[in-house]
Amino acid sequence: MPLTFYKKPALVVYVTCGDPDLVTTREIILAAIEAGADVIELGVPFSDPVADGPVIQRASERALKGGACLSQVLTLAAEVRQHSQSAGLIVFSYLNPILRLGVEKFCKVARHAGVDGVLLTDLPVEEASEYLEAMRANDLAPIFLAAPTSPDARLKKIAEASQGFVYVVSRTGVTGARQNLADDAKQLVRRLRRVTKLPIAVGFGISTPEQFAETGKFADAVVVGSAIVETIERNRGREAEAVAEFVGKFCSRQLQKA
């Protein structure tokens, strides 16, 4: 299963699928992988993204205007998988589109498409029993979020339900770039390590190679989301190129360090 982080820190790249359109999203993803991204989070656009800041909200709106939907994201995943065997592919979604398709059907199609894992922002572990069953049956890794506000008892449940890795939310708040990363993330990773051996990815608010390197000192993987989506927004017509350049900055940094 490609959900293995070969280098440390591994780079996880989030894109909102269908922004600006699905063909371009595929080019962007392949360019990001080529430039060194280890795992791609395929964001499914949703009409009511309560966990997202303005950048991803705008991207979702654009994607929905273009008619993007969950089944197309799964088709896109299959296409990406044909081109890249090594990259990890994670579907990143709100729960309702999955429910609408049907959880079991979703898991089957996702597995078939070569998806490795799924992260649902608004599905906490307590509500996940049937989802977990379907995920397990289809050999998909459920990835759950851990937040700075999660007490230790919850971290344990989250770690137990997760496979592949645990996604640490670096701070309370929605997605979006921040100047300063709070101490929250480091502390949370420390607390989480006590209850799990799974690798830990840290995300939310990481936008610069400096922050990436900083976070990489204590995390196994670092997620860059809004900064990628913003790069796409700002580079109409040359999205894939711009993303490749952007990702390259993170990966060359790594090379320098090595």
Partner 1 sequence: MATVPRTTNAKVPTLSSTKNVDLRMGHPRGSSMHNLPGRFGVYGGRYVPETLMAALDELEREYEKATRDKKFQVKLDELLRTYAGRPTPLTFAGRLTRKLGGAKIYLKREDLLHTGAHKINNCLGQALLVERMGKHRVIAETGAGQHGVATATVCALFGFECVVYMGTEDMRRQELNVFRMRLLGAEVRGVDSGSKTLKDAINEAMRDWVTNVRTTHYLLGSVLGAHPYPTMVRDFHRVIGREARAQILKAEGKLPAAVIACVGGGSNAIGAFYEFIKDKKVRLIGVEAGGRGYTLGEHAARFRGGSPGVLQGTYSYVLQDGAGQIATTHSVSAGLDYPSIGPEHASLRDSGRAEYVPASDAEALEATTLLARTEGIIPALESAHAVAEVMKRAPKMKKSDVVIVNISGRGDKDIGILRENLKID
Query: Which range of residues in 123-131, 185-193, 205-213, 232-240 is near partner 1 by CB under 8 A?
Result: 123-131
**Between 171 and 247, whose beta carbon lies closer to partner 1?**
171
Among residues 27, 79, 122, 214, the one that binds partner 1 under rule CB under 8 A: 122
CA distance 28 to 32: 6
Query: Which range of residues in 31-39, 75-83, 135-143, 151-159 is near partner 1 by CB under 8 A?
Result: 151-159
How many residues lie near partner 1 (CB under 8 A)?
A: 50
**Between 128 and 213, whose beta carbon lies closer to partner 1?**
128
Among residues 8, 105, 136, 238, the one that binds partner 1 under rule CB under 8 A: 105
Minimum distance from residue 33 beta carbon to partner 1 (Å): 27
53 near partner 1, rule: CB under 8 A: yes
CA distance 154 to 163: 16
Q: How buried is residue 238: exposed, middle or buried, by Cβ count under 10 Å (0-12/13-18/19+)? A: exposed
Token match 């936008």: residue?
Answer: 207
CA distance 9 to 38: 10
Residue 41 among the catalytic residues: yes
Residue closest to 128 by CA, chosen among 110, 103, 153: 103
C-beta of residue 91 within 8 angstroms of C-beta of residue 140: no
Minimum distance from residue 25 beta carbon to partner 1 (Å): 17
For 195, which DSSP code? T
Residue 122 among the catalytic residues: no
CA distance 41 to 13: 6
For residue 250, give Cα distances in angstroms to 43, 86, 199.
21, 19, 20
- How many helices (H) does the chain have, and how many strands (E)? 11, 9
Residues 169-208, one symbol each (x = binds partner 1 by CB under 8 A, - = not), give: x--xxx----------------------------------
**Between 8 and 102, whose beta carbon lies closer to partner 1?**
102
At 33, the amino acid letter reads: I
**Between 40 and 134, whose beta carbon lies closer to partner 1?**
134
- Which residue numbers are catalytic? 41, 52
> Which residues here bind partner 1, judged by CB under 8 A?
46-53, 57, 61, 64, 69-71, 94-105, 121-124, 126-131, 144-151, 154, 158, 169, 172-174
